[in-house]
Chain A
Amino acid sequence: DTAVSQTPKYLVTQMGNDKSIKCEQNLGHDTMYWYKQDSKKFLKIMFSYNNKELIINETVPNRFSPKSPDKAHLNLHINSLELGDSAVYFCASSQDPLDRGRYNSPLHFGNGTRLTVT
């Protein structure tokens, strides 16, 4: 009965490769997010989709491309991986974007994907 699941849990790859991380939520939420936790433990938002529409796109290299085939899925594709992309990537979902009904709509996170680029 996992609420937000992401795969794979660990991903080790070489520089220059292209990789994808998948995320699915079974909570019926309308909004999904990708967060990145870097080596300094900062959790920073990267993207947010509401009903398959991109609503947040932070200053992220365009090598990162999110794709939302439906509101229950938000995948992250990364092209030409670099050493600095090594981090833990968390998918999350909420019922509403945090600017509507947000007081009752905390984020639900997946367990993270640890990406290591060598």
Chain B
Amino acid sequence: DQQVKQNSPSLSVQEGRISILNCDYTNSMFDYFLWYKKYPAEGPTFLISISSIKDKNEDGRFTVFLNKSAKHLSLHIVPSQPGDSAVYFCAASGIGTASKLTFGTGTRLQVTL
């Protein structure tokens, strides 16, 4: 049962443009959401998070949007840079399961010159 879904396995964006990565979830108990970035042969690194009391959180070039009614969140990267090329994982935790993060399968972003 895949509770966190990233339906796009890959995305290619030109340098300078906006990258939009999407994530859907099914568990209505999830109330905290995170994005992790992973380079090859490295572990995931925390990027940005959002709690369900907000619908937007911004950190520099990265913004996460949360639409609770649609059970959907997205990560916007503006402007995209070649160093942003990586796999991005969406993760969620919730009431009663807060110690466990449930991850999506990731979206591979390639930023081209």
Contact = CB atoms under 8 A, between A and B. Distances in A.
Interface stretch (A11-19, A61-69, A90-98): A90-98
Interface stretch (A70-78, A79-87, A107-115): A107-115
Interface stretch (B11-19, B67-75, B101-109): B101-109
A107 B49 contact: no
Contact of B49 (A43, A106, A109, A111): A106
Interface residues of B, number: 22
A112 B43 contact: yes
Interface in B58-113: 89, 91, 93, 98-101, 103, 105-106
A83 B15 CA distance: 42
B42 A55 contact: no
B38 to A, nearest CB: 8
B51 A90 contact: no
Given A41-B105, A41-B106, A103-B51, A109 B45 contact: yes
B100 to A, nearest CB: 5
Interface string A28-55: 0000000000001111110010000001
Contact of B98 (A4, A41, A44, A99): A99
18 contacts: A40-B105, A41-B105, A42-B2, A42-B105, A44-B103, A56-B100, A90-B43, A98-B32, A98-B93, A98-B98, A102-B32, A107-B101, A109-B36, A109-B44, A110-B43, A111-B42, A111-B43, A112-B41
7 tightest Cβ-Cβ pairs between the two chains A and B: A109-B43, A99-B98, A106-B46, A43-B103, A41-B105, A98-B99, A97-B99
